Amino acid sequence: MKFSSTTKVVILSLIAIVALFFLYRVRGVLWPFLWAIIVAYVLYPSVDWVASRTRWPRRLVAAIIFFLGLGLLGFALAELRLLFTHQLRDFIITLPKTLAYAQGYLFGPQRTHIFGIPVDPKTIQEQAALALNDLRNYLSGQAVPIITQAVELVAQFVLFLIATFYLLLEMDRIGPALVKIFPRRYRPEVLPLLREINHVLGAYIRGQLLLIVIMAIVTWVALTILGVRYALVLGVVTGVLEIFPLVGPVTAASLAALTALFQPTTPFGWTNLTLVIVVLVVYTVLRYAEDYLVVPHVIGSIVALHPLVVIFALICGGALAGMLGLFLAVPTVAVLRILGSYLYRKLMEGEGAEEGANQQIANQQIANQQSTNRQSPIGNHQSSGGPSC
């Protein structure tokens, strides 16, 4: 028994509907698997490169790279944990002094009005104390849910590691299996499209992750040299905010400037305002260095999206899928641009052929007319500039 084309379309449509409905119902447990797919996709080129150079089995290379990366991550967390904990404890201790300094700076004797509106610093301080008290009461009442969420988070992280490991082992089989989904007669047209999508996604995601690491380390070193407090925390935040084009760098620079403005001590005998200016200059220089030196070599102009389209994609991605949506918004739009260009070519294929045929006929007619004029005595007489009838 053979299925007709209509039967095949109906069966495939039903399978797609059931699969989408199932994924929607279990969407709460999909995040570890989605992140595992992204990480395995990012790491696999290194597996392929090492395996091709060493002639080792790909699965052995995948296991070595996975455990090596896991060990490096654990070592980095262990080494930075003490510094991060120290900065966090110092931040908690100095928070009251910082708030008092900020209050004196913003609401001093000469600053009791903002845009002509009278401001009472005491009222603001009381409202801030009430807000902190409410937050403390809320956290104390949510102790059990917080513990439950922490255990769930650890379980999801373990599941993420297991899924990443198995995906990395089987990645060399997943690609050919996906190709076999398409009928043989469509593969010559589909495979170039899939290669272009893979090129865009791979270049963007791997480049973006490398850019995050580079900007986090460089910012941490620069802020440490300038004596800005919580340099490690600000460096990590700056790196993470690189995920969000346009908005992220501005937010990171603002956080660093505010920290420098309200810290109680400054280096090199500078005032807080001088330190803020230097911090903003450093962030501006790093931003231009990133745009003109790092990005062209790490990511390149492979996405080629208008800034307004990028902002719209980020807003939609965050609204649909939170942090993961923000991370995947730009590459998703880049892939949609490739698919849209392909569909446009397919839709205009007939009209383009018709216009090309008409243009070819018109060119042929012009050529024939020119040939006739060259062969005609009248044409020769007119072309030589003589009198015409």
Which of 75-84, 142-151, 370-379 is least confident?
A: 370-379
> Is-above-0.85 flag for pTM?
no
326 CB-contact burial (10 Å; exposed 0-12 / middle 13-18 / buried 19+):
buried
Q: pLDDT grade, residue 46 (50/70/90)?
A: confident
- The pLDDT of residue 268 is 84
Nearest to 83 by CA among 305, 231, 280, 286: 231
User: Per the domain annotation, does 170 fall within a domain?
Assistant: yes
- The pLDDT of residue 176 is 81
Checking if the pLDDT of 66 tops 90, the result is no
User: Per the domain annotation, does 258 fall within a domain?
Assistant: no
The DSSP secondary structure of 51-95, one letter per residue, reads: HHHH---HHHHHHHHHHHHHHHHHHHHHHHHHHHHHHHHHHHHHH
Phi, psi (degrees; rounded to nearest 5) at 113 = -130, 140
Using alpha carbons only, what angle is made at residue 243 by residues 302 and 70, rounded to the nearest 5 degrees?
Answer: 100
304/331 Cα distance (integer angstroms): 11
Share of residues in the chain with pLDDT > 70 (%): 69
User: Per the domain annotation, does 131 fall within a domain?
Assistant: yes
Tens digits of residue pLDDT in 176-211: 888 888 878 888 888 888 888 888 888 777 777 888
132/92 Cα distance (integer angstroms): 13
Q: What domain count does the chain have? A: 1
- The pLDDT of residue 383 is 41
User: Per the domain annotation, does 57 fall within a domain?
Assistant: yes
User: Per the domain annotation, does 5 fall within a domain?
Assistant: no
- The pLDDT of residue 360 is 62
Q: pLDDT grade, residue 338 (50/70/90)?
A: confident
User: Per the domain annotation, does 100 fall within a domain?
Assistant: yes
Report the amino acid identity of residue 229: R
The DSSP secondary structure of 154-171, one letter per residue, reads: HHHHHHHHHHHHHHHHHH
Tens digits of residue pLDDT in 131-148: 656 656 655 555 556 667
227/259 Cα distance (integer angstroms): 11
Checking if the pLDDT of 173 tops 90, the result is no
Share of residues in the chain with pLDDT > 90 (%): 5
Checking if the pLDDT of 334 tops 70, the result is yes
368/362 Cα distance (integer angstroms): 10
Tens digits of residue pLDDT in 84-139: 677 666 666 665 555 555 555 555 554 454 445 555 556 555 665 666 566 566 55
Across the range 308-332, mean pLDDT stands at 78
Phi, psi (degrees; rounded to nearest 5) at 118 = -65, 140
Q: pLDDT grade, residue 280 (50/70/90)?
A: very high
The larger pLDDT score, comparing residue 48 to residue 363, is at 48
- The pLDDT of residue 132 is 57
- The pLDDT of residue 382 is 43
- The partner residues of 118 in beta bridges, in order of sequence, read 113
The larger pLDDT score, comparing residue 375 to residue 307, is at 307
Nearest to 301 by CA among 238, 216, 212, 207: 207
- The pLDDT of residue 219 is 92
User: Per the domain annotation, does 60 fall within a domain?
Assistant: yes
Q: pLDDT grade, residue 170 (50/70/90)?
A: confident
- The pLDDT of residue 304 is 66
Across the range 372-381, mean pLDDT stands at 46
Q: pLDDT grade, residue 17 (50/70/90)?
A: very high
262/21 Cα distance (integer angstroms): 51
Report the chain's mean pLDDT, rounded to a whole number: 75
Nearest to 278 by CA among 299, 302, 261, 298: 261
User: Per the domain annotation, does 6 fall within a domain?
Assistant: no
Question: Under DSSP, is residue 117 helix (H, G, I), strand (E, B) or coil?
Answer: strand
* Residue range(s) defining the domain that contains residue 160: 29-181
Tens digits of residue pLDDT in 214-229: 889 999 999 999 988 8
Nearest to 90 by CA among 230, 231, 220, 223: 230
